[in-house]
Chain A
Amino acid sequence: MRSIRKKEDLLNLYENLRKEREKQGKFISVCVDTGCLATGSGAVFSALKEEIAKAGLNPEGEGVKKILRGTGSLGFDSENPVVVIYPEKIFYRKVRPGDAKYIVHKTLLNGEIIERLLYKDPETNEPIPYLDDIPFYKHQKRLLLANHGIIDPLSIEEYISIGGYQALLKALTEMEPPQIVEEVKKSKLRGRGGAGFPTGIKWEDAAKRDSDIKYVICNADEGDPGAYMDRSLLEGDPHSVVEGMIIGAYAVGASHGYIYVRREYPKALESATKAIEDAREAGLLGDNILGTGFSFDIEIARGGGAFVAGESTALMASIEGKPAEPHTKYIHATQAGLYSKPTVLNNVETWANVPIIINKGADWYGNIGTEKSKGTKIFSLVGAVKNSGLVEVPIGTTLREVIFDIGGGIASEKKFKAVQTGGPSGGVLPESLLDMPIDFDTLTKAGSMMGSGGMIIMDEHTCMVDVARYYIDFLSKESCGKCTPCREGLRQMLDILTRITQGEATMDDLDLLEELSYVVKDASLCGLGQTAPNPVLSTLKYFRDEYVAHVRDKHCPAGVCAALIEYEIIPEKCTGCLACKVRCPVGAIEGEKGEVHKIDPDKCIRCGICMEVCTFDAVRIK
């Protein structure tokens, strides 16, 4: 790769790569991010590569003209491994290595569509050949995820060939730092990590500080269980994040940056590292970027596995090599952050928005979203939903549109019960609130929050008390222990919730639980504790009946809480086939062949294997 030393170098390189790319004919893209690889997309990729070579073609192609591309996730994860043939965007789902030769010979070489690999409309059962016509994609607006599927994320040339680093060029050569800050302010971009603080105001404050050194940080410590958009962005389009960071650094006058990557994301770490190295080699990081005199570089910091490290002050402590313990925010990081120097900390998705805003302008960006929250937001639509994956929609889209139009509703025959948003800091919302537009303010008002964008769908077989207990259990383990309300309060809340799920609590405990929730909320030091009671308070607000059923009737209506349920065999349906008896791990099932079987509740560990293996539906939860 040639080194880019000045404006013209990047322009020429872009021109050449763009022209080369225009000559690109058909190509096959296979998602190779963590989620896809786990479904076997690696083997599909290898098989396609082999078949393309066998057909006498070079799968690698030349430069940015490739016939086969390993790309970031296309988001429709419940259909993985997904293979898309461009430019038509023929969408093949659940592809197996054995399908490779057909894809190459029929579709790639002869333009023939293979019907059995197509997605079928769930209502009409009609096959849908093209990606853009599939309901999951049709209702989305993919700006941040636009490059997923069309570029090899590990190639800086591919990123440049489709216009990558043009925003950087514009920012560094046509705009002054205050102009960039103004543009970001005008765009009304708000932090995508959870709190929704206006990014431009953060930048403005850091920019006006006088300091020998300033920092920018990318928070990739995505710890909310059920949220993985930042992993996907870093794996699928890492240069967009790097580009955003360089622009931000120039705007606020920072010379040094960090990307703090969660240790559970080895592949995101790899692609972020590669992107930084390639950008440095190309001359887009380091001294005198584009000959403008501006110097900036980025380092990777590896997380150690602590949820609280996602909190900004804790994250900075962690980069300094200390335990990730938060401190109070009387002084903003923009004044004294990392090593007590002015610091701008934004999360992955926020940084990825920056090049879009600079390229298209704040006015264009301002047309998307609601009055107070602009742009799109990526949500991870997971849990009991039919179409599971990453979904990008304009802020202000309703929950119902996301869950039903895009998500296709509940996966099983069961009924929708609730949606949990905002991770452990968020809350659970019932069906009556589904027509609410999703933005930072509406969700907070309803007792939840947008958070980083996790959206976990729950059906009738999810117990709301168990969900609340689950979150408090998680948070009590992740509490750093520095302040008492969070450390002790969560422990006591967990104790009460555990007793409720075991049928050992009283009605007074419910009041105590509520009271404790407010204490933890009001008195905790950082965001972890201040928002921790949300899952409890929101379930108490919308699903109080379920708490009462556990306490008063010793009954778990959803059939989840192990201490309150018993598996039993329906004598009329049991054929005495021994299937469950053979598989019971604790020998809790009695009865000979041909006899009706019986479960001993004292031996039973409530694993449910008997129910899973019974082909006669003869096992039920009492």
Chain B
Amino acid sequence: MPQLPVEPAKAVSEILSRYHGDPARMIEILQDLQEIYRYLPKEVIEEVSHQTEIPINRIYHIATFYKAFHLEPRGETIITVCTGTACHVRGSFRTLDLLSERLGVKPNETSGDLKYTLETVGCVGACALGPIVIINGKYYGHMTPDRMDRVLKRMGIIEKYS
């Protein structure tokens, strides 16, 4: 397990003070903490429970309920496939399958070497561009397996096609 970049006790107290320790702001508190670590390490959740005196199971209830939160470390490159209905009827599932094959990870999983996270999103609201794939924040519209594969090659994610 790699060393955490910021001491949990320090990060948690800083962010809690931003919200005056108000438990009603727990979703935002956890979101801000996740911004620091890119996921919610166990130590951080324990620290939140410790400092707020809220039972840890309640914090886990929130952290596991919302899709915004990740309890496992995430990959360096995050590939998000929009699986909204408009994208789906234009065949986004084929692109998702191809990515899964190419990266060797299932949807919503991270590769063992922490290089890639492949995830899906319900809809990003840019339906006219569908199917959409977002790679580290950059939008790629009208993605088909063919185009996706070429993007992967250009980015050096795959060396050759077959």
- Chain B residues contacting A389 (CB-CB under 8 Å) are 128
Interface centre among B139, B144, B145 (most CB of A within 10 A): B145
Partner of B85, one of A322, A324, A454: A454
A613 to B130, CA, bound (A): 20
A38 to B131, CA, bound (A): 12
Tell me the minimal C-beta distance from A519 to chain B in angstroms.
25
A226 to B82, CA, bound (A): 10
Tell me the minimal C-beta distance from B65 to chain A in angstroms.
4
Interface centre among B24, B30, B129, B144 (most CB of A within 10 A): B129
**Closest Cβ neighbor of B127 among chain A residues:** A382
Tell me the minimal C-beta distance from A30 to chain B in angstroms.
16
Tell me the minimal C-beta distance from B84 to chain A in angstroms.
3
| B126 adjacent to A228 (CB under 8 Å) | yes
A319 within 8 A of B: yes
Partner of A224, one of B24, B91, B123: B123
Tell me the minimal C-beta distance from A83 to chain B in angstroms.
17
Instruction: In the complex, identify which listed stretch (A105-113, A394-402, A584-592) lies at the interface while the others stay far away.
Output: A584-592
Partner of A35, one of B62, B91, B101, B125: B125
| A583 adjacent to B162 (CB under 8 Å) | yes
| A80 adjacent to B128 (CB under 8 Å) | yes
A320 to B130, CA, bound (A): 35
Interface of B is mostly: helix
The 0/1 profile, CB within 8 Å of A marked 1, for residues 91-108 of chain B is 100100110011000000
**Closest Cβ neighbor of B102 among chain A residues:** A585
A581 to B160, CA, bound (A): 12
Partner of B126, one of A38, A324, A585, A613: A38
The 0/1 profile, CB within 8 Å of B marked 1, for residues 281-307 of chain A is 000000000000000000001111111
Tell me the minimal C-beta distance from A260 to chain B in angstroms.
10
Q: A226 with B123: in contact, given A584-B162, A609-B98 (CB under 8 Å)?
A: yes
- Chain B residues contacting A319 (CB-CB under 8 Å) are 24
A301 to B129, CA, bound (A): 28
- Chain A residues contacting B22 (CB-CB under 8 Å) are 321
Tell me the minimal C-beta distance from B40 to chain A in angstroms.
12
B50 within 8 A of A: no
| B94 adjacent to A304 (CB under 8 Å) | no
| B145 adjacent to A612 (CB under 8 Å) | yes
Partner of A318, one of B27, B30, B84, B101: B27
- Chain A residues contacting B97 (CB-CB under 8 Å) are 562, 605-607
A106 to B146, CA, bound (A): 39
A587 to B26, CA, bound (A): 50
Q: A384 with B145: in contact, given A34-B125, A321-B24, A323-B62 (CB under 8 Å)?
A: no
Tell me the minimal C-beta distance from A422 to chain B in angstroms.
11
- Chain B residues contacting A423 (CB-CB under 8 Å) are 85
Q: A265 with B125: in contact, given A304-B27, A581-B162, A609-B149 (CB under 8 Å)?
A: yes
Q: A585 with B123: in contact, given A263-B68, A305-B67, A383-B85 (CB under 8 Å)?
A: no
A467 within 8 A of B: yes
- Chain B residues contacting A224 (CB-CB under 8 Å) are 123
| A222 adjacent to B129 (CB under 8 Å) | no
A524 within 8 A of B: no
| A302 adjacent to B67 (CB under 8 Å) | no
A93 to B96, CA, bound (A): 30
B141 within 8 A of A: yes
**Closest Cβ neighbor of A587 among chain B residues:** B162
| B146 adjacent to A613 (CB under 8 Å) | yes
| A609 adjacent to B28 (CB under 8 Å) | no
A302 to B68, CA, bound (A): 11
Additional A-B contact list (4), CB under 8 Å, known A304-B68, A585-B101: A231-B125, A388-B86, A454-B85, A581-B162
B residues in contact (CB < 8 Å) with A: 22-28, 30-31, 61-62, 65-69, 83-86, 88-91, 94, 97-98, 101-102, 121-130, 132, 139, 141, 144-146, 149, 161-162
A residues in contact (CB < 8 Å) with B: 34-35, 37-39, 77-78, 80, 222-228, 231-232, 263-265, 301-307, 318-325, 380, 382-384, 388-389, 420, 423, 454, 456-458, 462, 467, 470-471, 474, 478, 480, 562, 581-587, 605-609, 612-613
